[in-house]
Structure 1
């Protein structure tokens, strides 16, 4: 099953007619815009059923600041959640506490049978309401550590674009909200409706891959400086074969001492560290050159394209060719 489409057995089908977007102060306009674009625009001429779209805040008519220096004025208060088939919670600034009335309204909506959906950091709001307890979910990869530290008993999957856990759907950062929302449309109203909306938005109806392909993978650093010359030499000679014995000789250490020191300073083994560096170099070559996958493999030190594909898929989450289609020319 694709990483972007993690659908758990609890998934059930419902009709989707009324959608409420629940905003809190310092809401992220793009994430709110995702929900509004899919559910708030009349596309009946394209065969898309009309949605009743409600923009809700804690109090109707009270301006809410956003993360970009503008304001949004919700037409509805929390009463707008009553009767909604879907309550969407866009991203907002993460905080230690959220308005109690907002959390109570979300719990009540869930108890009434509404489907809940979060976009990006909106998962923090659902978690604060206790609605993700015992469930699988996701959020933006940048917030994973903060989320798991705050909610250690919630199972967070950091690799997927969205998780469908039946009555609650959570999505990763920003554009992953489009994937989750289109999935909900597909689930409730069928593929034809989801495809019609996607076509008007000029986005794919369903993306492959997960969040890992968008994560900037840092070069594993060493905490000391005794192996710096060896690490630098390895980076400059990725295409060559490197054995622990040869590297230990270069570091003027026994193999056992070298392996122990390497793990202490980099947090991993020489083989894993080298494989990671080769994949990182392969990402750059896929973005910036027209080399074939086999050529990239040889340039990075993988003996075959198949071996590159194996390590690339394992670390980045997508195949090299798929990564290139997404990111080619990005750096330029």
Structure 2
């Protein structure tokens, strides 16, 4: 009995948070999904950029509830249900998309970092097995989850959930209903490698694939928390729901405990918490440079602007122009100031 208690204490200690939270997307600061609509290119507030969605109101595509989170994720107050319906077409594309992008200037694209999330489906409104779905992906698709029949693959359907690197499957499992899949992408942007951690339910994360070589390309504002579905002729749209929990990005040592950073350490009573380090905020907001992307990741054309002579230089990916912008308008060599929209130009 004594050994059992000591083992339990040791296991909890080893799985407690030891990293630094760079960005927290666990929906704890949102009273409802309608809070997402406060974000705009002119008013970049909140934890997420919200612009990749269909023509209906936000509640058609994203809803929040404690019922939508992994019960083991006591660090989250609620989870999100992200939906594709017959209106979920963005920007005139022929692909259904509902996606959230981190709104942060933290260094989530530098050094070694861990991108955490939990994902689940139900038998009600399940993802179609007859179409490819790209889930939790980067603009360059160097790493992502995929489900359904991959585009161009033979056959009628595919029930697997896959982790892919550069489009190649490195790990897979049958995607059963009501099973929470806990995931962490281990990304080393300096070494150009990516590894895969996974567990189900309340089990702690374990490394399933050691880091392998990848083209780890990201501007720090192009990770898509959501889903892009490729079209397939002859297969009509059906409503699909995806459940998300425990979304955050950390540096340092990986948190393997599904309770997550800052979660009660006493089984959820709230009397004590683990120690959590949060990276200090930056004053510069990061904005996606790829407002129009597709399955082949085609970016919106960037228009070059003339940099001013403000006596200072902005680094790569920094803001360099826009309405009411008062910072550096000259980019450090060899970067140029590129127009994104009326409120934002960026060095790259």
Shorter-chain TM range is under 0.3
Name whichever structure is richer in strand by fraction: 2
Greater RCO, CA 8 A, separation 6+: 2
Greater gyration radius: 1
TM-score (norm 1): 0.25
